Homo-oligomer: A and B are copies of this chain.
Amino acid sequence: MHEFDIITTYFTHQSLHRADVIYGIGDDAALVTAPLHQELVITTDTLVSGVHFPLSTSPYDIGYKSLAVNLSDLAAMGATPAWITLALTIEQADKQWLEAFSRGLLTLAKRYHIQLIGGDLTHGPLSITIAAFGFAPPQQTLLRKNAKPGDLIYVTGTLGDAGLALDHLKKNIQLNNQDQPYLMMRFNQPEPRVETGELLRNIAHAAIDISDGLAADLGHILEQSKVGATVYVDQLPLSPALTRALPQEEAIKFALTKGDDYELCFTVPIDKQATLEKKLASQTCPYTCIGSITTQPGLLLYYQDGRQYHGKTAGYQHF
């Protein structure tokens, strides 16, 4: 199957069309119009086969997850997604694979009214690089560097689920049949917290998405904001599936150190707490306050009874 036929059949014809796209797939580059008086938010993430997803992952899930991790970055900035480009490197042009991959990718794209505006299809070891583009009103994006002492620290959803699923895939942990589908969905089809990110504009001081583990990713906020934090490890949100699979100490370790959950971690000044909780109540996305920002640099981990937590906190190491 020829490169151009693949692109037309599986991508051009399947993508929706936005009014702000003057020219999408089909020329040397795409042409778009950025909205007036908005900042443009740009991110890119690569998923490499065997590194970011197991070789056994279904093409639908690969397509879905490749986009989800990019949308998660836009969500962590409080941006509204608009367009994506796709650089897809594949070993061979397998129709069934391409059909399922594009379906996974474009199903998620449609949910957020995103248009695929261009890309590149190359021959080589399976790898997917997406660039995602969104908008936000001026000075309302959520930067890592703006956390302030006294801010409350929140996370969305539950933590550690994707890490547990990965350990299961690596045959380190056995899961019961009841919890397996839920955990595998958490790993293969993470839900980017786009609506929550948008809602946090003008409310949160700082935000990040949790891709390498809570302690590591919160650590970026602390470092860039030149602050510290106190977090209560027995307040970390854990799913019933996680607590069924692991003893409490182990579950906490997973929640602190395992990546791939793509939940948001954000900080909010106390005087915005009521507004935040009222706004979040209108959504289905769960959220939990896990601690607060302190003046003294460093991350301190406690149980609510006052004991200090001394477990491992290092997250995913890329090299």
Chain A residues at the B interface, C-beta cutoff of 8 Å: 1-3, 6, 22-23, 26-34, 36, 39-52, 73-74, 76-77, 79, 83, 85-87, 89, 92-93, 117-125, 127, 129, 131-134, 136, 141, 143-145, 207-209, 224, 317-319
Given A31-B77, A32-B42, A124-B125, list of 18 further CB < 8 A pairs?
Answer: A2-B317, A22-B39, A26-B144, A28-B77, A28-B144, A29-B41, A29-B42, A29-B134, A30-B41, A30-B43, A31-B136, A40-B40, A42-B85, A44-B120, A45-B120, A46-B87, A46-B122, A129-B129
Known: A131-B85, A318-B121, A319-B123. A39 touches B32 (CB 8 A): yes
Minimum Cβ distance to chain B for residue A295 (Å): 22
Q: How far is the CA of A45 from the CA of B45 in the complex (A)?
A: 14
**Cross-interface CB contact of A125 among B29, B119, B125, cutoff 8 Å:** B125
Let me know if B29 and A77 touch, CB within 8 A.
yes
**Cross-interface CB contact of A43 among B29, B122, B141, cutoff 8 Å:** B29
Q: How far is the CA of A31 from the CA of B319 in the complex (A)?
A: 27
Tell me how many chains of this kind the complex includes: 2
Majority SS at the chain A contact face:
strand
Let me know if B73 and A29 touch, CB within 8 A.
yes
Q: How far is the CA of A237 from the CA of B87 in the complex (A)?
A: 33
Q: Which residues of B contact A209 (CB under 8 A)?
A: 28
- The 5 A-B pairs at the shortest CB distance, nearest first, are namely A48-B124, A29-B43, A34-B34, A28-B76, A129-B129
Q: How far is the CA of A52 from the CA of B123 in the complex (A)?
A: 9
**Cross-interface CB contact of A31 among B1, B29, B39, B145, cutoff 8 Å:** B39
Q: How far is the CA of A184 from the CA of B194 in the complex (A)?
A: 47
Let me know if A51 and B124 touch, CB within 8 A.
yes
Minimum Cβ distance to chain B for residue A308 (Å): 27
Let me know if B43 and A118 touch, CB within 8 A.
yes
Known: A44-B85, A127-B127. A122 touches B318 (CB 8 A): yes
Let me know if A46 and B117 touch, CB within 8 A.
no
Q: How far is the CA of A46 from the CA of B134 in the complex (A)?
A: 22
Most chain B beta-carbon contacts within 10 A, residue among A47, A121, A127 = A127
Minimum Cβ distance to chain B for residue A2 (Å): 7
19 CB < 8 A contacts A-B? A1-B319, A2-B317, A27-B77, A27-B145, A28-B76, A28-B207, A29-B41, A29-B42, A30-B43, A31-B39, A31-B141, A34-B34, A42-B133, A44-B85, A44-B120, A46-B120, A85-B131, A87-B129, A127-B127
Q: Which residues of B contact A93 (CB under 8 A)?
A: 319
Q: Which residues of B contact A52 (CB under 8 A)?
A: 122
